[in-house]
């Protein structure tokens, strides 16, 4: 097979959630602006935040965003292995965009030879058609117990012959210890690949870091090549729900939207634009006492719908949401949340676990899980929800195993581009559900829905607030360039 010809630079981190994905996104945009044919690559991604390519392949949302920043179409080879944790100890394995089954961690490790071949092939194919690949690691490279089974960090760097920048998060302290400890735990040949460090999410005077930076550089003989400031409004997706902050807590706003916190919460980045609306405070709901304070409650996507529904019942959230709806609150379900709002969920093939689960009975629908997975982009209209003139041409995507059967005569929530009914709603529209992800990322849909909540409070409507992804990419790239040793990073990547 033809050997890779692209150059590469790899971003690794001291742990998950330190900002590797955001740094890769900025670098993809910076190199693109300089005229390079650049693409992202993450060999293995463990995340429930997934998206769908135009060809129907499933991959990590972060890599989709990185591809957009690089100015190329998302390609499943950019994330050849996606692992999606499920209820229990297993995970669903997505290989080159297609679900190949449920495996335990031991079973996945046992298949590492097959997995590595798939990763290496995907990398070589991308390297043959691009000038530069920006690689992203997974977790941290210095987990001693995982070194022998590494498929995502230093083994990928060796394949690509890539220098490595180590990123640490300054937000919660311990960044210098994390960088030094990670570096010292690496064997000498892997230390040789580390070309420098990046400190991320720093909210202070950079000069205060000088003694610590000098100490780190002395101990490791590696430079700190960037101190990136905290960007509270950075509109890029998080990969790990554990890293989500609660943006609405303590914030004064005219509207409060609650998103039910689920153990297997998926595709949570679609609610990011809601958190940036000036009249909205978004709260992740963990206890029932928070529900009555909301104007609307959203049940989000889930990778283990029945198990997460059982969780809502155990913590009395289901009861609180029922009372909230009876008292006039708005309730929305997206994908797995839509399935929860139905009358029952049946799993005859054991996709999540054989059996039947009673739904919350908001909507006259029934879900039957099937082994075959639906993953496709979709275009819809919101006329049924908002009436004539409602937002049209909304581009979203579906990722689900369940087939939702809607009882005849039920009012739809949306219409597909071909005029077919999609989703379901109550007659008053206060409760509705849809299998379509990405609705709240559409500026006009998001504002139309928020204006219905405002009307209920006697507030005047507001115009849509536009989130221009290109502007966001450029602003973040400018920030990284201004707060890093960009010429040195550029030379590392391009060898110039």
Q: What 3 state SS string does 244-281 have?
A: CCCCCCCCCCCEEEEEECCCCEECHHHHHHHHCCCCEE
Cα separation, 450 vs 159, in Å, equals: 49
315 part of the active site: no
User: In the block, which residue shows the tokens 């570096």?
Assistant: 183
Catalytic: which of 437, 444, 479, 483?
A: 437
- Both tokens assigned to 311: 């969780």
State the DSSP H helix or E strand holding residue 175, giving kind and residue range, or none if neither: helix 175-185
| Strand intervals (E) in 98-210 | 98-104, 132-136, 164-169, 194-202
Total number of residues shown for the chain: 496
Of the candidates 130, 330, 335, 400, the residue annotated as catalytic is 335
- What does the CA dihedral 220, 222, 226, 230 come to, rounded to 10 degrees? -20
Instruction: List beta partners, residue 82.
Output: 45, 94
Kindly state the helix (H) or strand (E) to which residue 184 belongs, with its residue range.
Answer: helix 175-185
> What are the Cα distances from residue 349, in Å, to 146, 295, 356, 435?
34, 38, 11, 21
How many angstroms separate the CA atoms of 35 and 349, rounded?
A: 50
Q: CB–CB of 432/445 below 8 Å?
A: no
DSSP string covering 55-98: TS-EEEHHHHHHHHHHTS---GGGS-EEEEE-STTEEEEEETTE
Local structure of residue 4 (DSSP, 8 states): P
Catalytic annotation present for 264: no
Taking alpha carbons only, the member of 261, 262, 257 closest to residue 282 is: 257
> Catalytic site residues?
335, 437
């Amino acid at each position: 097979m033809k050997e890779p010809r692209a150059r590469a630079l790899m971003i690794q981190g001291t742990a998950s959630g330190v900002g590797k994905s955001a740094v890769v996104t900025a670098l993809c945009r910076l190199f693109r602006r300089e005229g390079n044919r650049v693409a992202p690559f993450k060999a293995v991604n463990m995340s429930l935040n997934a998206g769908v390519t135009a060809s129907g392949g499933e991959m990590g949302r972060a890599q989709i965003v990185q591809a957009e920043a690089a100015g190329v179409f998302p390609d499943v080879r950019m994330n050849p292995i996606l692992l999606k944790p499920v209820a229990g100890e297993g995970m669903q394995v997505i290989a080159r965009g297609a679900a190949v089954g449920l495996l335990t961690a031991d079973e996945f490790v046992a298949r590492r030879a097959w997995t590595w071949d798939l990763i290496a092939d995907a990398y070589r194919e991308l390297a043959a058609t691009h000038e530069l690949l920006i690689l992203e690691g997974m977790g941290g490279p210095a987990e001693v117990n995982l070194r022998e089974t590494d498929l995502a960090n230093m083994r990928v760097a060796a394949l690509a012959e890539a220098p490595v920048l180590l990123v640490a998060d300054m937000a919660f302290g311990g960044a210098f210890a994390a960088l030094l400890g990670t570096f010292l735990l690496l064997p000498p040949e892997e230390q040789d690949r580390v070309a420098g460090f990046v400190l991320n999410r720093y909210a202070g005077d950079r000069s205060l870091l000088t003694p610590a930076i000098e100490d780190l550089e002395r101990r490791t003989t590696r430079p700190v090549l960037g101190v990136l400031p905290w960007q509270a409004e950075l509109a890029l997706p998080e990969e790990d729900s554990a890293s989500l902050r609660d943006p609405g807590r303590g914030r004064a706003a005219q509207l409060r939207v609650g998103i039910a916190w689920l153990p297997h919460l998926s595709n949570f980045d679609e609610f990011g634009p809601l958190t940036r609306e000036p009249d909205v405070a978004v709260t992740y709901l963990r206890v029932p006492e928070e529900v009555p304070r909301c104007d609307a409650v959203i049940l989000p996507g889930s990778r283990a719908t029945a198990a997460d529904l059982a969780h809502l019942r155990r913590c009395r959230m289901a009861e609180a949401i029922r009372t909230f709806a009876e008292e006039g609150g708005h309730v929305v379900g997206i994908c797995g949340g839509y399935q929860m709002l139905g009358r029952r969920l049946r799993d005859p093939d054991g996709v999540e676990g054989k059996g039947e689960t009673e739904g919350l009975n908001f909507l006259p629908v029934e879900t039957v899980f099937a082994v075959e997975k639906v993953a496709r982009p979709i275009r819809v209209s919101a006329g049924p929800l908002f009436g004539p003139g409602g937002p049209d041409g909304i581009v979203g995507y579906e990722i689900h195993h369940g087939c939702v059967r809607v009882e005849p005569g039920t009012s739809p929530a949306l219409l597909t581009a071909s005029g077919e009914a999609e989703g379901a709603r109550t007659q008053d529209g206060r409760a509705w559900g849809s299998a379509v992800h990405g609705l709240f990322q559409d500026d006009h849909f998001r504002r139309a829905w928020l204006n219905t909540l405002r009307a209920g409070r006697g507030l005047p409507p507001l115009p849509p607030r536009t989130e221009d992804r290109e502007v966001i990419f450029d602003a973040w790239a400018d920030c990284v360039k201004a707060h890093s040793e960009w010429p040195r990073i550029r030379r590392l990547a391009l060898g110039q």
